[in-house]
Amino acid sequence: MKKTIILILCFVIALSFSACSAPSNQPEASQQSESRTLKKYSLSAKRKVIIDTDTGGDDASALILAAKSGNLDILGVTTLVGNVNLDQAAKNALAALEIAGSNVPVYKGSAENIKGEKIHAFSVYGTDGMGDMDLIHPEGKVEDKDGIDFILETVRQYPDEIEIITLGPATNIAKAIQRDPDTMKKVKMIWSMGTAGLGAGNASPVAEFNVYHDPHAYKIMLDSGIPITIIGLDMCGGDAMWTDAQFDKLRDTNPIGKFVTHSFFKLREFFKKNRSGDRVDNCDAMAMMCVIFNGFISDTISCHGSCITEKGETYGQVIFYQQGFTYDVVDNDFDYNVTLVNGVGKKDYFDLYRQTIMS
């Protein structure tokens, strides 16, 4: 009997030690999990890029990711009206780059759409596009050169080497194509965060904001024949959305994480009132992940893209004609210059982002 009691006591004590020690292992286990996530993907070879942005909080998070990754030679950032007006977009880009420790030059591009119409910029990221958290106090200044001229001069200097990552409307790209189509044909790749992909839109049931803001510009870009890789809204939903708990973790990571978290303040409010509770998407940094990391894209479709520019319910929708299909309503004589991303590492997205900004 005495032996039985002693054995029971030993078992209870062992359980107590096990229960007490478990919580202390959780941070270490989390770090090991994030480390494994980072090792799943490799950085792509270093290449020359221009980033084109209408800098709201999501664009800013993507600029920071690009600057911290170390494998992109960012020759310049061009800005335009979209999430916010042109001046604010430029200031936001400067502030985001500075918090990432980067002195990449910033150029102002389009203050209006391709048809010359002034666009009222509305942002779910707040009036300053960055959460209205008093984050934007850049020390640097915007370059004097016009952003579209910068794009063309850079492509002429590095023909067939430049990749343009466009995170906002396609206005700057379309204007560059109109000014000098021969030079723009020497762009190696355009990466576009735009369209609804094969899913639903956010500006309308079928149209995504960046395209809806200037569909005529997006059509010019699609019709240019330049190779384009598109990352649509359907790639940044579901498991790719960031939760309140993840934002808390990001905020506590370092000053960069705090900056990004605060810049999403107004968007998180908007989603809680109108959409998905404590989960928000971050499509621009998702698009940047696709550029930076080998293996992050898991599936693509070769397509021809057609943008609807006529006013009506489908205004701003991009229709994708998949290569290998025969469609009855068209002649199928397409230029399949679009690679539509159809699968990404959604579950790894947040951990990979956090690990990269810690480097």
Active-site residue list:
54
Distance CA 266, CA 124 (A): 6
Burial of 149: CB neighbours in 10 Å, binned 0-12, 13-18, 19+: middle
What DSSP assignment string belongs to 69-135?
HS-EEEEEEEE-SSSS-HHHHHHHHHHHHHHTT----EEE--SB-TTS-B-----TT-TTSSTTSS-
Long-range contacts of 244-248 (CB under 8 A, 24+ apart): 244/268, 244/278, 245/278, 246/350
**Cα R_g (the chain), whole angstroms:** 23
243: Cβ contacts below 8 Å, ≥ 6 apart: 278, 279
Cβ-based neighbours of 225, under 8 Å, separated by 6 or more: 185, 335, 337
First to last CA, the chain: 60
Q: Say what the alpha-carbon torsion angle 108, 114, 118, 123 is, to the nearest 10 degrees.
A: -70
The two tokens of residue 147 are 């952003």
* DSSP conformational letter for 238: G
223 alpha-carbon distance from chain centroid: 23
CA dist 81 and 121 (Å) reads: 7
- Residue 29: other Cβ atoms inside 10 A: 10
CA distance 210 to 119: 12
